[in-house]
Structure 1
Amino acid sequence: MIIRKIVTNFHQRLLSFPKTSNGLIRSGSCGLVDCRHNLHAWASVKSSLDSELETIKESGVYKTERIITSEQNSWINIEGKKEKVLNFCANNYLGLSSHPRVVQAGITALKDYGAGLSSVRFICGTQNIHRDLERKIAAFHGREDAILYASCFDANAGLFEVLLGEQDAIISDELNHASIIDGIRLCKAQRYRYKHRDMNDLRNHLESAKGSRRKLIATDGVFSMDGNVAPLGEIVSLAKEYGAMVFIDECHATGFFGSTGRGTEEFFNLNGSVDIINSTLGKALGGAAGGYTTGPKELIDLLRQRARPYLFSNSIPPPVVASASEVFDMLTENSDLPKKLASLTQSFRSQMKSAGFTILGDEHPICPVFLADAKLASTFADKMLDQGIYVIGFSYPVVPKGKARIRVQISASHTEEDINKAVNAFIETGKQLGCIN
C-alpha cells in the first residue's frame, strides 16, 4: 500500500510539470533535464577531439605511457616485458627514490603522523616535520627561510603574483619552463622575454624596464630539454647594474649539480648571489612530490599570507616530507653521489660524441641525443626498448618542431657497465636507422 501511494504521488507530480510543445518536461522544472541537447553538443566536441588526436598520431608525436610495475630505479620492470630494462629517462638523479633510508623514513612518518593532513597549512595542516624540512631547505641553500608547496609548479604559480604588481617588470628567458611562464601570466607586471641565454637581449629589456619599481630576472638554472645551463654570472652582473632581482628555478640542479649538489650557484662558484630559488622535492630529493621557494624571510612570510597555491592546497603528506628530509640529511653527510653522477655523465657524453651522435647541453646529466625528426625519435626509442634500454623520444609540443631528440638522463644509481650497455645499444640502433655511420 505504501509503495503504491509513493508511485501514485510521483506520477501525479510528473503530470503537473510544465511541458514543451513535443511533450517533454521543461528543463530545470523539477531538477530533471532534457539530456538530448547535451548529448548533441558533446557529439560535436567528441568528433573534433577524435580528429585532433588522429592528427597527433599521424604526425608521430602521440605519447603512449609505458606502465612500470616495480619501484623507480636504474633497472625497472615494464608491463609487457618479461625481463627488467635499464632505465635512462627518469629524473632520479641521485638514485634515491627507492633507497632504504629514504623508504624507511617515509614508513616511519606514515606510522607516526598518518597518511595526510586533510587540510591546508594555516588551518590545521602544519606539523613539526613541515617546519623542520623548511629549515633544512633554507640551511642547504644558505637562505633565511623556505616555504613548501605541493609541487614546484605550484611554487612558480604562487610567487610572481605576490611579488610583482602593475608598477613592476619581469624579464624571462624565452625557454623557461612552462610553470614559470604560467606563473608570470598570473601577475600584472610588465613582461619582457629575452632570447635564450642572450645577455645582449637581456640588457636591452632591462633598459626598457628601467622605470619600473621592481625588476625581476627569471631563468631556469638548468634548461631541462637541452641540458644547458643559464649564464648565471653574467645575469647576476646585469642584475646589479640595473638594480634587478634574480630568480632561478633549480628543479634540474638541486641536490646533484655543483660539487656538493647546491645547484647552479655552486656550479659557477656564486653561492648566495641569487635572490630567490624555487625547486622540487620530486626529482633528486627523493623523487616523490613537493616543491619550495627559499629566500629572504620577508618574502617567505608574505607568501604564507598571499600565495594562492599555498593557501588553498593541502599540506604535503608526512611520508613525502620525511623522505625528502632524509635526503637532505644524506647530502649534508657527504657529497659522494653528486661526484659519482658527474663522472658517469662525462663518460656517457664522451662515448656518444665519439660514436658520431650530437649530444646537446653543458656537461649535465640531462644528455639529449639530437635526432630532429619526431617519427625517427619515436622509432628509435622503441628499438632501444627492444634492446633492454628504456628511453623516450621527445617531440613537439614538448620541444619545438624539428628539434626532436632522445633525452637520456644519467643517475648516480647507474654503473659504468650500465653506461657502456646504453652506448652500445645507441650505436647499434643508430646504424640501423642511418643516424650514424
Structure 2
Amino acid sequence: MTTTLSQRLSAELAGLRDSGLLIRPRVLEAPQRARTHVGGVDVINLASNNYLGFADHPALKEKAAAYLREWGAGAGAVRTIAGTLRIHEDFEEQLAAFKHTGSALVLQSGFTTNQGVLGTLLQPGDLVVSDELNHASIIDGLRLTKATKKIFKHADPADLGRVLSENETDGLKLVVTDGVFSMDGDIAPLDRLVEVARKYGAVTYVDDAHGSGVLGEAGRGTVHHFGLQDSEDVIQVGTLSKAWGVVGGYAAGHADLRELLINRARPYLFSTGHPPAVVGALSAALDLVQQEPEFMERLWANTRFFKAELARLGFDTMGSETPITPVLFGETGAAFEASQRLLHQGVFAVGLGFPTVPRGLARIRNIVTAEHTRDDLDQALAAYERVGREMGVIGG
C-alpha cells in the first residue's frame, strides 16, 4: 500500500519524539539583545550569535530605515535580471575593501553561499579535502558536486598532507575548513593548513561564519588573524547574520571569483536580491566595527572573564578559544535538563546533543556578546554554579 503524506509525517515526528530529538524552538518576545524575553520572563541571553550586539543597534536600524525609504521594500527580481540596485554593488565593494580581497559577492545566506560557491568551483576530476567537523552547509554543498571528496582529521595539518599526497589529480585541489568551529569554539590552524595546501598546489577555502567580526583587525576574520588576507589562493566565505546582526552570506577572494559566481552560482542566479533595508543595516555594521573598536574589545573582555570563571567553578569548556563557550554535560538528557534548569533561573542557554554533536559530548553552547554587562555574566555564572552542583557536574 502506498504511504500517505499523513502517515509519513506522523511516523517521522513520532520517531523524533521517541528519540528525544524533536525541536520546539523557543520564541523571543523582545528584540535580540543580551537580555530578552522568553516565555514572558526576562532572561540573560547566552544563546544567540549576536556577538557585537548589532542586531538591535540604533545605527543599523537608522540606516536600514533610510534605505527602505529611499529604495523601497524589496529588490523586485533576481540580481541577474533586474534585482541589482546600486546599493548592492556599493556594499559589495565596501565588503571587498574590508576583507582586503579582489572582489566580493553577497548571496542570500551563509548556507546557500557554500552551495553556490562549491557548486560553481568544483567539477568532475577535481579533489576536495574537507575537515571532518565542517559545518553542515559545507557538507551539503559538497554533496551537490561531482568532485572526489576526502576527509582529513579535525584541524590536523599532518593528516591533510597525508590525504593530499595520496590523491593526485590534474584538476583543481580544494582544502575546505571552517575558520572557527561552531560547536567547540576552536580556531582552525589556518597558517599551517595553507602551508600544506600550497605544498600540494591546493587552494584553501575558509568558511568564516564565526570568525568575521570576532577575529582579526577590526573583525576582518580568521584569514586576517593569520595574516593571509592578501593571498589569492585563499577564498573566504561566511555569513552576514552573526556578528553583523542581519542576514546573508558572502564570498570574497580572487578578482575573477565574483564574475564567475554571478554567472554560475545557482542560489545567486535564482533568488531575489536582498531588500534595501538589509543592505543598509549591513553597510552600517561594517562602518561601526571599524569606527568603534570598543565592540570587539568588550566582546573579548567578556569572553575571557566568562571562561575563566566557568573554569574556576570546575566546568569543562572543551578547550574553546573564542566567544563560543561550550559547557560539557556528557549525555543529551543531562544537557537538555541543565538548559531547562538554567531557564528557570533566568538564563537562556540551549542544550545540544546527538546528532548535532557526538554521543557523550552533549553540551550547552554559550556565546557571550559585547553587549553583556558584568552583572549579566555574574548572574549567569551564579545560575550555572547552582545548576552544576544540583546535577553533580561540579563539586559541592
Fold shared, TM-score > 0.5 on shorter chain: yes
Question: Which of 348, 364, 370 is matched with 1:406 structurally?
Answer: 364
> Residues of 2 paired with 1:270 and 1:343: CA distance?
25
2:240 maps to 281
2:19 maps to 56
> Residues of 1 paired with 2:17 and 2:247: CA distance?
33
Instruction: Answer yes or no: is the 8 Å Cα contact 1:215–1:245 preserved in 2.
Output: yes
Task: Provide closer, same or farther for how the CA distance between residues 64 and 42 of structure 1 changes in structure 2, counting only shifts above 3 A.
Answer: closer
Higher-Rg member (1/2): 1
> Residues of 1 paired with 2:183 and 2:9: CA distance?
32
- Runs of 4 or more consecutive aligned structure 1 residues displaced over 6 Å after TM superposition: none
Instruction: Answer yes or no: is the 8 Å Cα contact 1:226–1:361 preserved in 2.
Output: yes
2:280 maps to 322
Q: Secondary structure at the match of 1:136?
A: helix
User: In structure 2, what residue type is equivalent to 1:309?
Assistant: P
Q: Secondary structure at the match of 2:19?
A: helix
Residue 272 of structure 1: how far off its partner (Å): 2.6
User: In structure 2, what residue type is equivalent to 1:95?
Assistant: G
1:70 maps to 30
Deviates more, 1:353-362 or 1:143-152: 353-362
Instruction: Answer yes or no: is the 8 Å Cα contact 2:187–2:321 preserved in 1.
Output: no
1:45 maps to 8
> Residues of 1 paired with 2:217 and 2:375: CA distance?
24
Residue 45 of structure 1: how far off its partner (Å): 2.2
1:380-424 per-position Cα deviation (integer Å, ceiling 9, x unaligned): 011111111110001122112221100000100011221111111
Q: Secondary structure at the match of 2:149?
A: strand
Matches within 5 A, 1:292-331: 292-331=250-289
> Residues of 2 paired with 1:157 and 1:146: CA distance?
16
Instruction: Answer yes or no: is the 8 Å Cα contact 2:262–2:268 preserved in 1.
Output: yes
In the alignment, structure 1 residue 252 sits paired with structure 2 residue 210 = yes
1:91-124 per-position Cα deviation (integer Å, ceiling 9, x unaligned): 0000010010101111111111111122100111
Matches within 5 A, 1:263-282: 263-273=221-231, 275-282=234-241
Q: Secondary structure at the match of 1:248?
A: strand
Q: Secondary structure at the match of 2:130?
A: strand
User: In structure 1, what residue type is equivalent to 2:346?
Assistant: G
TM-score normalised by structure 1 residue count: 0.87
> Residues of 1 paired with 2:277 and 2:299: CA distance?
26
Q: Percent identity?
A: 38
> Residues of 2 paired with 1:92 and 1:41: CA distance?
42
Q: Structure 1: where are the runs of 5+ without partners?
A: 1-36
Q: Structure 2: where are the runs of 5+ without partners?
A: none
Matches within 5 A, 1:102-251: 102-251=60-209
Task: Provide closer, same or farther for how the CA distance between residues 132 and 340 of structure 1 changes in structure 2, counting only shifts above 3 A.
Answer: same
Instruction: Answer yes or no: is the 8 Å Cα contact 2:185–2:325 preserved in 1.
Output: yes
> Residues of 2 paired with 1:362 and 1:433: CA distance?
23
Q: Secondary structure at the match of 2:238?
A: strand
Residue 184 of structure 1: how far off its partner (Å): 1.0
User: In structure 1, what residue type is equivalent to 2:15?
Assistant: E
Residue 46 of structure 1: how far off its partner (Å): 4.1
Q: Aligned-residue CA RMSD in angstroms? A: 1.5
1:336 maps to 294
Residue 50 of structure 1: how far off its partner (Å): 4.1
Instruction: Answer yes or no: is the 8 Å Cα contact 1:279–1:291 preserved in 2.
Output: yes
Instruction: Answer yes or no: is the 8 Å Cα contact 2:100–2:230 preserved in 1.
Output: yes
> How many residue pairs get matched?
394
> Residues of 2 paired with 1:54 and 1:155: CA distance?
32
TM-score normalised by structure 2 residue count: 0.96
Instruction: Answer yes or no: is the 8 Å Cα contact 2:13–2:22 preserved in 1.
Output: no
Instruction: Answer yes or no: is the 8 Å Cα contact 1:265–1:272 preserved in 2.
Output: no
Task: Provide closer, same or farther for how the CA distance between residues 324 and 47 of structure 1 changes in structure 2, counting only shifts above 3 A.
Answer: closer
1:7 maps to none
User: In structure 2, what residue type is equivalent to 1:78?
Assistant: V
Q: Secondary structure at the match of 1:223?
A: coil
Instruction: Answer yes or no: is the 8 Å Cα contact 1:209–1:215 preserved in 2.
Output: no
Residue 43 of structure 1: how far off its partner (Å): 4.6
User: In structure 1, what residue type is equivalent to 2:258?
Assistant: I
> Residues of 2 paired with 1:211 and 1:271: CA distance?
27
Instruction: Answer yes or no: is the 8 Å Cα contact 1:226–1:368 preserved in 2.
Output: yes
> Residues of 2 paired with 1:181 and 1:376: CA distance?
28
Residue 157 of structure 1: how far off its partner (Å): 0.3
User: In structure 2, what residue type is equivalent to 1:418?
Assistant: D
1:217-256 per-position Cα deviation (integer Å, ceiling 9, x unaligned): 1000000000011011111111221111111001001012
Instruction: Answer yes or no: is the 8 Å Cα contact 1:227–1:366 preserved in 2.
Output: yes
Residue 44 of structure 1: how far off its partner (Å): 3.4
Task: Provide closer, same or farther for how the CA distance between residues 130 and 239 of structure 1 changes in structure 2, counting only shifts above 3 A.
Answer: same
User: In structure 1, what residue type is equivalent to 2:23?
Assistant: K
> Residues of 1 paired with 2:5 and 2:118: CA distance?
37
> Residues of 2 paired with 1:103 and 1:389: CA distance?
27
